[in-house]
Amino acid sequence: MRLDCPSPPPYIGRFAPSPTGPLHLGSLYTALASYLDARSRNGWWLLRIDDLDTPRNMPGATERILDCLAAFGLHWDGEADLQSRHGQQYQQAIADLQRRDLLYPCSCSRSLLAEAGPIYPGYCRSQAYRNDQPAALRVKASPGEVEFIDGLQGIIRESIADQHGDFIVLRKDSIVAYQLAVAVDDYRQGITHVVRGSDLLDSTPKQIYLQQLLGYPTPEYLHLPIIVDRNGQKLSKQTRAEAVTATSANQTLFMLLSLLGQNPPPTLKRAEIPTILDWAVARWSPERLRGIRSISIDTPPSNQT
Ligand SMILES: [Zn+2]
């Protein structure tokens, strides 16, 4: 990428949506929080498109995401960064781990994995690999704990071996797995602060584990409560949360600021977008979200405007 700046600022944040569909209210909420956190600390806010999972990508989604963020006044620094352009860096990281005997191929079938449960019991760790079958690559989980202090969720301490097991870094279909891609991306982009939904809290120890194995620094993390619908389901593409539209963008921003615990004054509801964002940057404090994992929204996003 890079911004023509001789020395990067002490804060570099990012928003990293997958182009599997347009932004919905839940993803815009995360975008807004990470934007406000970066801007309130005079940091950069980078946009990364997590487009490695090619079978799930939706044609045109990247353009729609970019247009949507721009319509809401969430302007990012530099060019949007596409994961798919960095294949070589992921391969280098995998080769590095492989050279140090930290990975092994796993050719277990889907049914065998389903039987084994959520934590892979390491069947292929000791077996000689049969190279006539397609295989994923797993990283060996070493004993010991990964610990970090989340900006909102407090101390998180997990055993990779006991709570996650040997997890996949390269999928059977040769697609770089999410955890490895994110660890490499955050490093190559110099990310210092990650603001994202608490649904990803389970991924963070794995990403930190990979950072440690690869010798990368660990950014600071802040996991926001996720927005759930009246049934307690996370707003997501899977629950068919509707795409946000730029119609009444100021009212949508106002509602998102309320959900983020910022208590915007009613007069701000009809203000122009830059005015709303300036107000929010100047007063940003996620403190009221401390320790909260989910926030309920009573009406579907389409009725919010
Ligand atoms: Zn296996």
Ligand 1: distance of its center to the CA of 123 in Å? 5
Is 114 within a domain? Answer: yes
Same domain flag for 64 and 95: no
Q: Does one domain contain both 62 and 145?
A: no
Please give the pLDDT value at position 131: 66
CATH number at residue 118: 3.40.50.620
**How far, in Å, from the CA of 211 to the mean position of ligand 1?**
23
Binding residues for ATP: 237
User: Alpha-carbon distance 127 to 86, whole Å?
Assistant: 32
- Is 73 found in the same domain as 166? no
Mean pLDDT, rounded, for 48-68 = 96
Write out the two tokens for 150. Answer: 């989340």
Residues annotated within a binding site: 14-18, 50, 106, 108, 120, 124, 178, 196, 237
Handedness of CA 197, 201, 202, 206 (dihedral sign): positive
Which residues are annotated binding-site positions for L-glutamate? 14-18, 50, 178, 196
pLDDT in tens, 132-152: 788 999 999 999 999 999 999
Beta-sheet pairing, 193-197 with 168-170: unpaired
- The contacts of residue 88 (CB under 8 Å, 6+ apart) are none
Q: Which domain holds residue 230?
A: 12-84+182-303
Q: What is the pLDDT of residues 74-95, one digit of tens each?
A: 999 999 999 999 999 999 999 9
